[in-house]
Amino acid sequence: MLFYNLIIRDLKLAFYSSTNFLLAASFLILILVLIPFVFNASPDSFTLLFSGFIWIAIALSILLTLDRVFNSDYEDGNLEIILISQFPIELIVCAKFISHWISNCIPIIIAIPIAGLLFNISLSDNLYIVVNIIAGSPGMVFIGAAISALTLGSKRASLYKTIIVIPLYIPFMIFGVNQESSLVLLGLSMISFIFSLFTSTYSLHLYAE
Amino acid sequence: MTNKLEINDLECIRNEKSIFQNLTFKVESSQTILITGKNGSGKTSLLRIIAGFIVNYKGEILFNSKKINDFNKLIADFKFVGQKNSLKENLTVQQNIELWQYLYQTTIDIDQITGPLNIKSFLDKDVSSLSDGQRKRVSLSRLTISQSKVWLLDEPLVYLDADKVKLLGSLIDKHNKDGGMTIYSSNTKNNLDYNKLINMDNYALL
């Protein structure tokens, strides 16, 4: 079935070009490592600020990877092959969402406890952060993927993507820093799934025509 | 079983402008059609309409008397190799072929796919290190993956040397003998054998 095949294909593609697999997570760690250099603050305040920093880092890391959801396949012509397979575009979009989340957000989720060690974060706090990210990151990936589908083929796609995506990430950041709001994040992810599914499907239909 | 592809009174519209109109022709099993014409006369658009990528057209396309006017229809019967090579630059040729298995949802016999266009010698090389001709050969090798009845090739001869054009010619001959049909566009003089020639300049509204 193409749904599973597409997920496996995208994961293999990310794995073969291993820089893809590690890009988001290493970018996230790099941002976090740089932050203490620009703040003249005590270690305790870093611990306080960590959960805030991490959401900014996640937003930027996901933004960095968005070109790979549809754009790379669009540029080399593979998207056409995928689109004319006898398969509903909605499911193609879902497969793309899932594989992109696995290949970019799972490395991020693994990297966060390691980053937490650098900032002297307690295990329970780390756990809260990871739970929030598991609940919120799918939504961020969905929104990012939808916007990258919308800007497919546009000359200034990267610019538009950044300008449109970042404001849409603000709700995730607001609730992300609050330890008790993982259910709200989950809700946001679900809402963005619906929004993104229709937007991406519509954009790919437009592109196909 | 013989197959038949009929194009009736086709008009292609891009960006609300008509590119060509009144195009009618018929292709049967074992035939090869060459499409020529000036740049911008609609050669690629015609192939993309038949392949199902462009749905904004007037007229009808019948395959074995069944209408194909919708995206996603009868696609297993058609295989399109466009000007984009559809290869991942940072992967090796073998890895690219492995990914095709998932896209075309079939198992690939590596000997069967590398044989016809002689791509075995650079299987383990990165696509980014190949020449344009080698990339084209890898890209065209996907034709052998599954049994599609209609091959649609957009400028397949660009970058190929005379020997490789012959290899492609024999691949197409074999496909046509097995009941397939081939439609390709080209502007070079060194063309493959063909049964019918369609000059898009006669239909284009330039």
Instruction: Return the pLDDT at A98.
Output: 92
Pair A144, A69: CB distance under 8 Å: yes
- Which amino acid does the sequence have at A144? G
What is residue B206's predicted lDDT score, i.e. its pLDDT? 65
Residues in chain A within 8 Å Cβ distance of B88 = 13, 16-17, 72, 76, 78
Structure tokens at B27: 């292709």
Among B95, B74, B99, CA closest to A5: B99
Please provide the size of chain A in residues. Answer: 209
**Domain span including residue B83:** 4-202
Gap from B99 CA to chain A (nearest CA, Å): 6
Chain A interface mutation, best of B99, B101, B135, B138, highest count of A Cβ atoms under 10 Å: B99
Q: How far is CA B105 from CA A47, A82, B153, in A?
A: 49, 11, 21
pLDDT above 70 for B71: no
Tokens of A110: 């693994």
Q: How many domains, in total, are found in chain B? A: 1
pLDDT score of A199 more than 70: yes
Q: pLDDT grade, residue B101 (50/70/90)? A: confident
CATH number at residue B160: 3.40.50.300
pLDDT tens track for B122-141? 878 888 888 888 888 888 88
Give A47-58 as a DSSP string: HHHHHHHHHHHH
What is the enclosing helix (H) or strand (E) of A39?
Answer: none
Using one digit for the tens of pLDDT, what is the confidence trace for A144-181?
999 999 988 788 888 888 899 999 999 999 998 888 88
Backbone angle region of A128, left / alpha / beta, with phi > 0 → left and psi within -120 to 50 → alpha: alpha
- Cβ–Cβ of B86/A77 closer than 8 Å? yes
pLDDT tens sequence across B106-115: 777 777 777 7
- Residue A136 CB burial class (10 angstroms; 0-12, 13-18, ≥19): buried
pLDDT, one tens digit per residue, over A179-198 is 888 899 999 999 999 999 99
Per mean pLDDT, which range of A79-83, A103-107, A191-195, B200-204 is the poorest?
Answer: B200-204
Q: Give B-chain residues touching A87 at CB under 8 angstroms.
A: 72
In the chain, the amino acid numbered A197 is L
Q: What is the largest CA-CA distance in chain A?
A: 59
Query: How high does pLDDT run on average in chain A?
Result: 86
Predicted confidence at residue B177, as pLDDT, reads 82
The secondary structure element, H or E, covering residue B32 is strand B32-36
Name the minimum distance, in Å, from the CA of B35 to any CA of chain A: 22
pLDDT digits (tens, 9 = 90+) for B185-202: 888 776 777 777 777 777
